Structures are given as structure tokens and as C-alpha cells.
Amino acid sequence: MSRYLVACDAGGTMTDVIVVDEEGRSVIGKAPTSPQDESIGYMESFWEALEYMGISKEEGQNFGASVETAIYTGTSMLNTVINMNGYKTGILVTRGFEDIISQGRGSQTFIGAQWSEITHMQYRRHRTPLVPSQLARGVTERIDMFGTPVIPIYEDEVRQGARELIEDEKVEAIAIIFLQSFVNPAHENRAAEICREVMAELGQEVVLEVSNKVAPTTREISRANATVIQAYASDPARKQLYRIEEELAKTGYAHSLKTVLGYGGITNIRYPRLFEAAMSGPVGGLMGAKYLSSVIGEENIVCSDVGGTSFDAGTITAGVLPIDREPGFQDMYVNVPMLGITSIGAGTGTYIRVDPQTNRIKLGPDSAGGTPGPTFMEAGNTTPTINDVNLLLGILSETNYLGGKVKINKDVSYKLFKEKVADPLGMDVYDAAETCLELLNVMMREHLVNSLMVGHDLREYVLLGYGGGGPLHLLGYAGDFPWKAVCTVPHAGGFSAWGGACMDYSHRRHKSVGAVVTPDLDDATKLQYLQPVTAAWDELEAELREELKEEGFDPEQVSISRVVYMKYYGQLDDVEVDSPVANLDTLEDMNSLITTFEDLYAKMFTMAARPDVGAYHITEVCVIAKVATVKPKLRKFELAGKKPAEEAYKCSRPLYMRGAWQDADIWEMEKLVPGNEIDGLAVIEASNTTLLVPPEWHVRIDAHDIYWITRKDS
Amino acid sequence: MALSLREETKANEEAFKKTGCLFGLETLARKEADPGTYEAVWHILSNLCNAAWATGCKVSSSPIAAEGGDALWGLHTSTGEAVCISRGISAHAGLLSDMIKNFIDLGYEENPGFKAGDIFENNDPHYGGIHSPDFDMCMPLFYDGKLIAWASCVSHVSDAGSVTPGSIGFLNPDCYSDGLPISMERVGENNRFYPWYEMRIRSRTRTPDFVMGDARGRLAGCLTIRDRLEEVIEKYGLDFILDASKEYVEDSRRYAVGRVKTQTVPGRIRKSQFKDLAMKGKRVLLAKQDIDCAFNLPMELTINADASVDLSLQGASGTVPFGENISPTALKSGLMMGYSHIVGFDMFNSGPIAAWNIEMPPDGSWANPFPLNYEAASGVAWAPAVTWVSNLYEVFGRLFQMRGFVEEMAAGSGTIMTAEFSGINQTGMYLTGLTLEQASQGSPARGYSDGENSAWCIYTPEADFGNAEISELYYPILFLGRNVSPNSGGYGQFRGGLGHTAVWMVHNTPGLEYQCGDAGMRSKMVANHGMYGAYPVVPDRPAYGHKTNVKELIEAQKPLIHGRGDPESPLIASLIDAELVEDNAIAPFVTPEPLQDFDIIVHPIAGAQAMGDPINRDSASVERDLNEGWTTSRVATDIHGVVTNKPNGAFVVDAAATDAKRAEIREERKARAIPFKDWWLQEREKVQAEENMDPAILTMWSTCMELSPKYGEELRAFWALPEDFTFSG
């Protein structure tokens, strides 16, 4: 009997489930996301995927028995925070910081905002705090930046605060956040002990989280947010995951459900720091790309994901994905490692408007999302979107949207686009549509080239496009930049779900250290100042090994990497450095690390000379523990001839491009095979995506079924 | 033959005069012919400036530029108009533009000439700089041998070598004490600084590594702009870029005019504010500084029928022997920022302010000192000037209200008091610099809601105070508190966003200078008054204790200090014993001697102004503020007329008692009200008799009447005073 892997990507709009067999063959199901009970969307999508395998729902009632691993990536934690339906949570915090959550910080009021919004004060809003100040209790204590207790913990205050929160305020969870606890956790840990004593005295159990366990890294506001999210949302979100696991169990699935962590690893849904899964949405794509890169032998990849609402992008350099250690999440900065992904509000559902005062075209940043749909879905929305443009220009087919499941109406689209966009601009409808499309492509291109890729040489990178809208816009935003190559994959709409199946079982731990080495120090002192780095590495490695042991892994299976985050003293950003040495015990160790850092720094910031301050600052250390998992095979096929089979050709359709209607060949992606080649102008249609090939481009499908797209003149 | 840049500037000015459109652009041909490319290129150019910001801040090495983002990059036309800017401290956009124009106007095109790779800088207020720690840079950008644009940058360094450490030189008595001047100089060629530039920084600043790191950051960002612009030109063509750059500026002007036309009403509106600086009896540098000062900041704004805007700043008072004087160029730049944020925020560039006719402050005033007082210091030049920016918010708030755009209203800012430290930090390094506390104040009340707590800063959109743990890396302090300050956002139907109070214990240092500085604070006066019947924000009242018993309190596990307490009754003296305790210190000041370990500083940051009558405040909002600890029962009852009970530990409004209390307040108001005419007569007598007028106030009035005769005439007319009336100051 075949064994299968099932992975899911639950987005804001749609839930995709991919089922992969041992040969690497895969099918993808799609269903609307169901935030109230995510098992509904998961299972609907699961059944649809089985349908593509020719298995009806009735026939598939025991299919789960043949599933080796089931993975969830998605929005359960996010929904708990958005809907504010997590646990009633109180905080015990360093006295004087009781408002740490409700006050937040200024920059949290404009996370992800455009510059014109940031400058206009009226738009600013703090989010509703997960913990109002009423549920905060201060504790007198202080530890300094070196970990020295300067003010001892006033234990009576802890006891009284815990009692008030549990007994009077009836909280369901308590988060403990003390300043500099990542350097010395003694006060936080003692406070936790006292809380447990109070719980025992009261005979009541509440969830208890301490910041030095949840996120032992500097920046107390972000650490507090992380700890509160963990206390507030983890258990409620876990309940959603248990529901999915229950439903899968009904089909015979005999294992635990796995989930995806924001830094690109999978773990059991019983994993204690589940808040690390809060931002796992865009991770699947990057991890899929990373796996793809290892198979095809490309170390440098720019990953680009076009969805309905956003354009997400990340880079893989030398096989390594950068980590963002303080990403924004629901108007909070959070100390949680997450793959470095940057997003702009630009997708296929992005709204198109013309400002009545300036007559300027405005794309987004908001979008139609899934409900109500864009105009051509006749869902009552009257604001045109990028999807309308693609439809009007002939790129999207009226009969093939989501494989023909969704009915669309080009006439409505034309009427509204003309009235709201083309006429105010004084332009022909089709010229205006093409103008909007090009503007979107420019925004995406700029995001890639001038934001994400600053300091990188494009000639060394392969541009990979995926997401439902990725192939549609890929060559538009690839532009004429000198990418090493441009490629996409079939089933690009389900690539993120597929990527979820490509991850190792992985945990990582970060810890801030604050080790500064200045040139005036003697060698012995320098080494002394670096000792906290080695100590933190050892501590984190021991923790991770213990965690993985408890999760049933043999220590021999675990591989360890040691990392530092380092910068010149005083600079804003540090650089992630894979340490070439396991410890910093000798001057040679230290110099080896400094050389690695300086080489990397010079590569990243070639435009600027290195500062000659000569002071180095290691801000944080990290240990990564991995257990390799069985990945879906990337199948290798015999190459067929360049000419596609006749049945793959659907028809010829006029497309409006560069100011004229041109006939395009329309191909059916499912019927194309490795070895086939197609010249633009062409549109290759699949049920979950559409690849547009402009006239100057040429497509070649390689043995792995990857679509490589090159300029005809290259 | 091609025009020189000076000739081109003149031609632009004439074309504007003739057509009313910048560069004479009566039609925006590129926009009309190709709106998509026009938008795309705007997006690309803006992004290019942001790429410069990202690169420059990464390379910069001072905490202020790097952690606080106190920097800005811009792209300009060949004649200096700002086309677009990066994120960052937008208050400098106009100033950078004027610096480039100044280089052109002074004939640098001929001598020493402009060539690719040249680096020019200025930080000298005499030539348009704001204050010496803000280093302004520009580089001419060439294409095919022709100067086609400029890249610019400003970054705020931690120390520019003024007479006192740091960057908030309010104590500077004259310009000679303002620090290292770069006076409209070419500081490098071939994309490199001259050796003397670094030598001068090393010999004349206290933190040269950081200052040079910031210089490299400025340069790296400007080079990013240069390189990226060349790519854009290759793609879209030089002609398109040159044409579109001008159109963006004119388009932005039109946007601002359009906003004024559609969202305000024609007419004249005035707003007066005052600021004080109480220094008498404090630690100062020269004997002439042993005085109190007051500043007059009148503003008159006229919206004309064609939606053009006249702005008069006549009536500003005389210079002061402190660092609060500002050059008109810097002042205009700050106003441009405010105007762009309020009115012209669609495209931030030189366009919106071009629709203004500004009557600048009179020669010899604190806001235009140099024609009459060349020695005036500008160590913290924006300190009084930000109040004018606040005035713009209020003035436009009223105009928007008149047209029903309630959601656009804002009540204006509170005060800005800085904290600057200098000394040996916890890692043993000498460090001087500004904390980020003042960069995160409450935002003004809106026409329909409270402002936001700790979320706004009038001088930069990037309002943020960062994390305490990061501050402790730089400064020898331990935070004992950083909570919301209750009652710090004025009192009104909608209150301003609340500020916060930082409480620091000095830690791990042989000595720390704490400078409670002026960046727009008030010593004794209130700032602004809120709008439409609101009550104002209280003045800044920091506190500190020197040679304290805190060590003993800690050992005995006694209560420490974590906040300021009610403004009416500060906590420090009741909690801390010390050889020197200032529980209600009047800002600004420098502590008499360096502070030592276990000394305490309580540094409150203001909220913003409120709007509407406080007894119209929704009682549920008062209840929430009480329960969050953001207001007090005294204020709830006496000012808002909201009566509460506390049945189960939480405040609950007593609706009937509240109605009764509010009715009582209204009756009390009626009882003490008098007809305006009676009030005017009473006040007139006091004015004539100079009753209760401090010498600082008399000096303020007499200088402003002398420097602005027309303003003086109006003042006399308002009070019906004799034609020869003057104040005795």
C-alpha cells in the first residue's frame, strides 16, 4: 500500500491541502478557510484533493490509515489574536512597566503602513491590548545588563500579585516578564515558583509562561508580546489543531498532527512554544524553495509568492534562509524567529482606484480578499481589482477560473473598470488595464530588486515564482533584470502547502548576550567578555537536545548548528554568522569568528567602507537542532520531445499586450510533460494557476517538471 | 547655450510667478500622456530614497541615527527642489532643498564647480543649517556629463563638539559655543571625504567614531541614490525622469491646493502661543544667561479665494542668549513638514509649501536672528519653533471642522522635554547622547476620538521610544519605570494621547551628567490650550534625587519610586531621602554636579492636547481611564464631573450622580462668568499697569512690538492703548 504525506496551507482566504505519494506525485485540494472551526476547511480541501486522485469521499473514509505525516500551516493562532478569544491573561512585570502591553510602542501603530499613512497622524491606532493594564501587577526587582541582581525580587509582591490575578481577576493565564531576564532568569524563575505555590494554595491551575523560557532575547516589549501571545493564544489555538487531528483520526490517521514553525521547521502540535507557529503562513513556500534548491543544485534563490492580497518575498543565499528575529504580528513586534519574508499589499485581488482629486492611479494596498470577491466574481463588490485587469486583457479565461468552478462575468468587469478607472484617466479601457498591470509589476519588481535584494548581485540568483498569482505575474516582475534564471513550478498555487511537507523536524533557540569587545581590551579580557557566548550556546544546545529527546528522537539523529548575531558596536543591524568554531575559548577561535563576520559584512554592504571603530558587538546567539525527515520526492522524468502533445493545446485567444491585440496559444498545464518547450506569446492554464508567457520569452520544462523561462534572445 | 543652474533657478521662479505653476508647468504632460509610467517612476524614486535610508542607517553607528532613525535622504531636481524623500525625519526635507539652492546661489557652480563624486555639507545655522549636530549633505548627480539631480541627506550625530556634551545645546550662550561648524563646504571629492574632514571631527567632537560612522552612512545612502537613479534613467530615459521629477513637485503642490480648496474655508485665522525658558538661578555658562526668557509665537494664516495660503509669522519676539534661536531656512523646513503631514501628505516634496506666501519672522527675532544678532546660538534651534508646527495642526483642525471633516482634526502637540546623558557607560566607554524618550509622545486628540498614547512625535513621523533594554546598553542607567503618565493628555471631551514617565536609577558609572533639555518644553507656562474648551497639558516637571538612600531602601526591600505620581503631588520626596531632592524641578536644567550610582531621575514625557469640553467626555471613557490607572478620581470628579464607585475593586460610573455633578459644574461656571467686555476692561487695566508681568514677559512684548511694528499696532489697537504705548522690558 502506498504511503502518503498530507500538508495544508490555511490562508486568510483559502485552505489548500496537498497529498503527496511516495513517488512524489501530488494533488491539491482547495476550500474556503473556516476560522471558526478550521477542521471544516481542512477536511473539505482534503476530500477535494482525494477526488483528484480519483477517490471519492465515501471511498476515502479510511485513507488516513495510509497517511504517514499530516501537517498544518495556517492561521489558527492568528485568528485567536484577531478575534480576541484567547485566555484571559494577566502579567507579572517589573514594577514600573505595568503598561508594557497596553502602551506598546509608537512604531507598533504603523507596522506595514505606507509612508503617506505614516506621515498622516490621524491614521495611527494602537491595537486593543491582549492584556489591559488592569490585569498587570508590578513586582519590584531589577537585574542589570550583565545579569547582576541589583534590586532583589520582592517576593511578597509576587505572591500578592499572583493571588489577585487568579482569585480576584479570574485570569486563565499568567505571563511573567522581567527586564534583562534573558541575561539572568533567576527572578523570573523564582516568580514562577511562587505563582505555582499560590496556585497550589488556591487549588487553581492557570497557564504560566515566563519570558526567559518563551523568548530569551533582548527588547522587553517584543519579549513581553511574545510571552503574552504564548499565554493568551497557544492553548486556544491548539484546541483548533486537536480538532483537525480528531477529524483526521476518523479517517484512520494514527499519528499526531504536525505544525509549521515560523522559522521553517515542523513540530508536534503539542510543542510547548506554539507561539513560534503564529507566523507560519508564508513559510511553506520558502521551505519548499529551499528543498527545491537542494535538488536542482541552485544555492541562491529569490522566492516570490503572489497571492490574492499580498506579494511575499524572501531570499535563499548559499542555501541559507535569513531569519527575522523581531517581526511584526498583528500590530505588535514579537521576539520570535521567523523566516525573513517581506510583504507588500499587492496581489491579484488588489484594488484599483483613481484618486478623484489628483487623478492618480492608486493600487491597494487593500484588496478584495475572498469575501466579497472581485467584481468579476459577481459577489457584489464594485471596486475593480487586478483580477479584472487580467480578465479584460484576455490573460485569464472566463471559463477557467479555479478550474472553471467559479463563474465570472467579463461584461460586469468591463463596465466597472471603464467607469471607475479608464474614463477618469481619459484612457481606452484596455490601455488603462495594461497600465494598471504594469504598475503592479513595477511595485513587485521594486519590492524585490530595491528592497529585498539590496546588496545582492541578481546575476547570482534564480527567481522562483509561485502562489496562485505567481506564474501570472512572474515575467512581469522579473522584468529585464539580469536574473541568473527565472522559473516556476506546476501547481504553483499549492506550492506553499507542498513546501510544508519539505521541512525538517527542527527547533531553534535564541538568546541575547550583549558581548562587546573593544580594541583597548587586553586579550584575556576579550576572551573573558566572550565567555557568555559559549555559555549560552551550551545552555541552548542542552535545552534543545532535551526537548527533542522528550519528543522521541535519538540523540544521534540530532544535528546542531551554532550561530551568532554580530555587528560593529553602535550599528543598527547585526549579521547572522554561522560560527566556524564550536567555542570561543582561544584567540584563534575569536579571530576566526571575527574574520567570518567581516567577510560577510563586506559582502553584504559593498557600497560602504567598514567602520574603523574596531569594537564588535555580539548581540545574540542561536542554536539550531534538526532531525532530518523524509521529504516528498521531486520526481525525475524521462524527457519527452520539445513539441507538446496535441491534446495539450487548447486554443488560440486574443490578448491585449503592448497596445495591440495579439493571438496567444493557450495550453493546458496538466497535459504538458517534461521536455516540452513553448514559445511566447502563450498562456498555460492549470486549475489553480495560470502562466503568462510574453512574446519574448520561452518555456522549457525540465526533468523535474520545473518550468524554466528564458528570454528568446538570451 | 545651456543655462547655468542659477539662471535656471531664476527662470523657474519667473515661470512660477507668471503661471502660478511650479516650473511653469500648466499641464502635466508626462502624467497625462502616460499615467502608468508616471506612477511607476514615482514608486521607483521613492523606493530608491528608502533604499538609501536602509543602507545609510545600517552603516551609521550612532545610537540616534541607527536606533532612532534620526536621518533622512532625498532626491532633488538640478535646481534643488525636493522630488521625493525617504522615510525618517521629514522635518529636514525643506532645509536640504534650500541648502542645495544656497550652494547654487552662492556661485559654487563656478567656483569650485560641481563635479561627479563631490560631497558638500553644511551644519551652520548662519547658512541655513538648523543646529550643529544635524549634518546636512548633498552630492550633485551627473548623467552624460550633465548635472541632472542631487542626492541629499541629514543625520543627527550624538555630539558636534558644542560647549556642553551632546546634541541639545540649550545652554549655548552664543554661536561660538555651538560646536564644530561645516559652513557650506566641499568636504570630499571622488566619493571620499577629504582627510581634514575626519581630522576635524576627531579633534573637535567627543564621540568621533560615532560621528564618522554617521558621515559614512550619509555618504553610503547618497551613493545608493546615485547608482539607482542611473539605472532608472537607463530604463525610462533621461527626458522622462527630468520632466516627471518636476511634475511630481507641481502635482504635489496641486494636491495641497486641492485639499485646501475642498476641505477648508477662505478667511483669516490666528493662533498665538508662548513658550518660556526659566533659567534664572540655575547652572548656566555666562552671567548674561542668569535670566528667564519668554518667546512669542504668533501665527496668522489666510486662505485666499483661490486656495493659496498666506502665512505670517510677524510678531516673534527677540533673540535669547541660549540655543533656542533658529534660522528662517530651518524654520521654514519644519513648517513644510507640518504642512505636508497635515495637508500635502500624498507626495512629500517641495510642492505643497510652494503654494504658500510666507511672511517670515522679523529680522532680529529669535526666529530670524542673524541679520541683527550674528552671535545668536542655535544649539537646539527647533525648541520653540515646533510650537508653530503645532499651531498648524490646530489652525487646520479648525478649518477642517468648519467644512465637516471631523476625522481630519487634531488638537496640537504638548511639550517636548529631552533627556541627554554623558559619561562613562556600563561597558566603560565614554558616551554622550540623546535618549529616545521624547520621540514617543501622546498624539493629539482627534475630532472624534482620544489621541494615541506614546505614539507620536511632532518632529518626526517615526515616533518611537524603543526598548528600555537597548537604552541600558548605551547609558549607565537602570529603568525603574516607563509607564503611561496619568492625566498627561490634557482634559477634554477627547483627551490627547498620554505621555509616559521614565524613571531611571544611575548605575555602574563613575559619574553621569543628566541634562534635562529643551526641545519644546515649557518651564512654567502651559503649552497650547487644547481646542474648543479643553484644558491644557500641564508643564514639564521632572524630578531627581542626588546622593540618595536608595541602596539602603533596596537592602531593606522598602518601596522604591517607579513613577511621578499625580502631577499635584509628586512621589519622589515621600519615597526617597537624598542630600539633594528636586521633586518638581523646572525644566530645562543640568544637574549641579554629576549624578552617581543609586541616584534617581524621574523624567516625564508629555501627552498631546485635548479637544472639547471635559464635562462632555463620555463617562465610560473616564471609567476606563480610571481602571487603567490613566486618570485619577480627583480629575474624574472635579474636571470631568464623573462620579464613580468601586464596588468590586473596579471603578463603576454612577450615572445619576454624574448628571448631578455635571449640572453643578455648569452652574458654577455660570456663576463665575462675566461679560467679555467686562473681562476686557479688567485685563486692559492690568496690561497698562504691567501688573504681574515678569521681566521676561515684558521683554518679550517690547521686543516683538519693536521688531514687528505692524504687530505692535494691532496689539495696541486690540487693547485700545495709546499710539506710543510700549512695555518697559
What ipTM does this complex have?
A: 0.95
The answer to the question of residue A479 being in a domain is no
Q: What are the residue ranges of helices labelled H in B70-207?
A: 93-105, 195-204
Q: Kindly state whether residues A699 and A668 are assigned to the same domain.
A: yes
**Do A676 and A691 form a contact (C-beta atoms < 8 A)?**
no
pLDDT the model gives residue A251: 95
Q: What residues have CB less than 8 Å from A668, skipping those under 6 apart?
A: A647, A648, A649, A650, A684, A685, A686
Tell me whether strands B356-359 and B309-312 are parallel, antiparallel or unpaired. Answer: parallel
Q: Are residues A603 and A661 in the same domain?
A: no
Question: Do A602 and A651 lie in a common domain?
Answer: no
Q: Is the CB of residue B79 less than 8 Å from the CB of residue B2? A: no
Shared-domain flag, residues A618 and A657: no
Residues A591 and A686 both lie in one domain = no
Q: Is residue A361 part of a domain?
A: no
A618 and A665 inside one domain: no
Average pLDDT over residues B188-201: 96
Co-location of A606 and A708 in the same domain:
no
Average pLDDT, rounded, for chain B: 94
At residue A214, what is the residue type? V
Residues of B in contact with A127 (CB under 8 A): none
A215 is a domain residue = no
Do A642 and A583 belong together in one domain?
A: no
Query: What value does the mean pLDDT take over residues A249-253?
Result: 94
CA–CA gap between residue B625 and residue B627 (Å, rounded): 5
Confidence band of A373 (pLDDT split at 50, 70, 90): low
With H, G, I as helix, E, B as strand and everything else as coil, classify residue B383.
helix
Q: Is the pLDDT of residue A609 over 60?
A: no
Looking at chain B, the whole-number percentage of residues with pLDDT higher than 70 is 98
Count of C-beta atoms within a 10 Å radius of residue B430: 12
Q: What is the pLDDT of residues A149-164, one digit of tens each?
A: 999 999 999 999 999 9
- pLDDT at site B66: 63
Q: Which residue in A115, A451, A612 is closest to B51 by CB distance?
A: A451
Cβ <8 Å between B453 and A126: yes
Mean pLDDT over residues B226-244, rounded?
Answer: 95
Among A583, A607, A627, the domain-final residue is A627
Give yes or no for residue B427 having a pLDDT over 80: yes
Instruction: Report, as an integer, the average pLDDT of A620-625.
Output: 93
Asked if the model's pLDDT at residue B674 lies above 60, the reply is yes
Mean per-residue pLDDT, A618-625: 92
**Residue A633: pLDDT band with limits 50, 70, 90:** confident
What is the C-alpha separation between A578 and A597, in angstroms, rounded? 9
Q: Decide if A106 and B461 are in contact by the 8 Å CB cutoff.
A: no
Does B453 reach chain A within 8 Å, measured CB to CB?
Answer: yes
Say yes or no for a CB contact (<8 Å) between B35 and A180: no
Position A78 scores a pLDDT of 81
Asked if A671 and A700 sit in the same domain, the reply is yes
The total of structural domains in chain A comes to 2
Q: Establish if A606 belongs to a structural domain.
A: yes
What would the grid cell of residue A667 be? Answer: 495550453
Question: C-alpha distances in angstroms, A218 versus A331, A511, A513, A528?
Answer: 19, 8, 8, 21
Q: Which residues of A touch B456 (CB under 8 A)?
A: 106, 121, 124
Same domain, A622 and A520: yes
Are residues A559 and A652 located together in one domain of the fold? no
Can you tell me the mean pLDDT for B627-641?
95
What are the tens digits of pLDDT across the range B377-420?
999 999 999 999 999 999 999 999 999 999 999 999 889 999 99
A112-168 per-position pLDDT tens digit: 888 888 888 888 899 999 999 999 999 999 999 999 999 999 999 999 999 999 999
pLDDT confidence of B552, banded at 50, 70, 90? very high
Q: What is the pLDDT of residue A266?
A: 86
Q: Does A605 touch chain B (CB under 8 A)?
A: yes
Distance from CA of B665 to the nearest CA of A (A): 30
> Does residue B142 or residue A74 have the better pLDDT?
B142
Q: For residue A72, with 0-12 CB atoms within 10 Å meaning exposed, 13-18 middle and 19 or more buried, which class applies?
A: buried
> Is the pLDDT at A575 greater than 80, yes or no?
yes
The per-residue pLDDT for range A77-111, each reduced to its tens digit, is: 887 888 888 999 999 999 999 999 999 999 999 98
Q: Supply the pLDDT for residue A607.
A: 41
The answer to whether A613 contacts B209, with C-beta atoms less than 8 Å apart, is: yes
Residue of B nearest to A519 (CA): B429
**Residue B540 and residue B494 in contact, taking contact as beta carbons nearer than 8 Å:** no
Residue A575 and residue A677 in one domain: no
| Whether the predicted pLDDT of A550 surpasses 60 | yes
Is the model's pLDDT at A372 over the cut of 50? no
Nearest-neighbour CA in chain B from A55: distance (Å): 48
A291-294 long-range contacts (CB < 8 A, ≥24 apart) are A291/A499, A291/A502, A291/A503, A291/A631, A291/A634, A292/A464, A292/A489, A292/A502, A292/A634, A292/A706, A293/A319, A293/A462, A294/A319
User: Which residues on B lie below 8 Å from A443 (Cβ)?
Assistant: 40, 43
Contact predicate A383/A353, CB 8 Å: yes
Q: Give the model's pLDDT for residue A604.
A: 64
Helix, strand, coil percentages for chain B (3-state, nearest 5): 40, 20, 40
Q: With 80 as the cut, is the pLDDT of residue A295 above it?
A: yes
> Is the CB of B604 inside 8 Å of chain A's CB atoms?
no
- A443 contact B CB<8A: yes
Query: Which A residues in the span 373-412 are in contact with B, Cβ-Cβ below 8 Å?
Result: none
- Interface contact flag, A122 B407, Cβ < 8 Å: yes
Write out chain A residues lying below 8 Å of B219, CB-based: 608
Q: Residue B472's pLDDT band (boundaries 50, 70, 90)?
A: very high
End position of a domain, from candidates A627, A644, A670? A627
Strands A575-578 and A505-517: unpaired
Give the Å distances, CA to CA, from A330 to A129, A160, A238: 11, 32, 19
Confidence of residue A214 (pLDDT cuts 50, 70, 90): very high
Inter-chain touch B469–A145, beta carbons under 8 Å: yes
Is B61's CB within 8 Å of A573's CB?
A: no
> Which residue of chain A has the CA closest to B550?
A151
Boundary-marking domain end, from A603, A627, A651: A627
Judged by CB atoms closer than 8 Å, whether chains meet at A357 and B228 is answered as no
Q: What is the predicted pLDDT for the residue at B209?
A: 87
If one compares A422 and B354, the residue with the highest pLDDT of the two is: A422
| CB–CB contact B90 A151 (8 Å) | no
Query: Comparing A492 with B230, which gets the higher pLDDT?
Result: B230
* Nearest CA among A445, A438, A443 for reference residue A483: A445
Q: Percentage of residues in chain A with pLDDT exceeding 70? A: 95
Q: Is the pLDDT of residue A389 over 80?
A: yes
Name the residue range of residue A656's domain: 636-714
Average pLDDT (A630-658) is 91
CB-nearest partner of B478 from A150, A434, A605: A150
pLDDT (0 to 100) of residue A553:
83
Cα–Cα distances in Å, from A260 out to A179, A244, A282, B188? 30, 15, 10, 52
- Nearest residue of chain A to residue B508 (CA atoms): A144
Q: Is the pLDDT of residue B634 over 90?
A: yes
User: What pLDDT does A75 receive?
Assistant: 74
Chain B nearest C-alpha distance from A358 (Å): 6
How does DSSP assign B618-638, residue by residue? -HHHHHHHHHHTSS-HHHHHH
Contact B562 A99 (CB under 8 A): no
Kindly determine whether residue A152 and residue B554, on different chains, have CB atoms separated by under 8 Å.
yes
- Please judge whether B43 and A446 are an interchain contact, meaning their C-beta atoms are less than 8 angstroms apart: yes
**Which of A106, A152, A454 has the CB atom closest to B464's CB atom?**
A106
For residue A145, give how far its alpha carbon lies from the nearest alpha carbon of chain B (Å).
7
Overall average pLDDT of the A265-274 stretch: 87
Task: Give contacts of B43 with chain A, Cβ < 8 Å.
Answer: 439, 442-443, 446
Cβ separation of B503 and A96 shorter than 8 Å?
A: yes
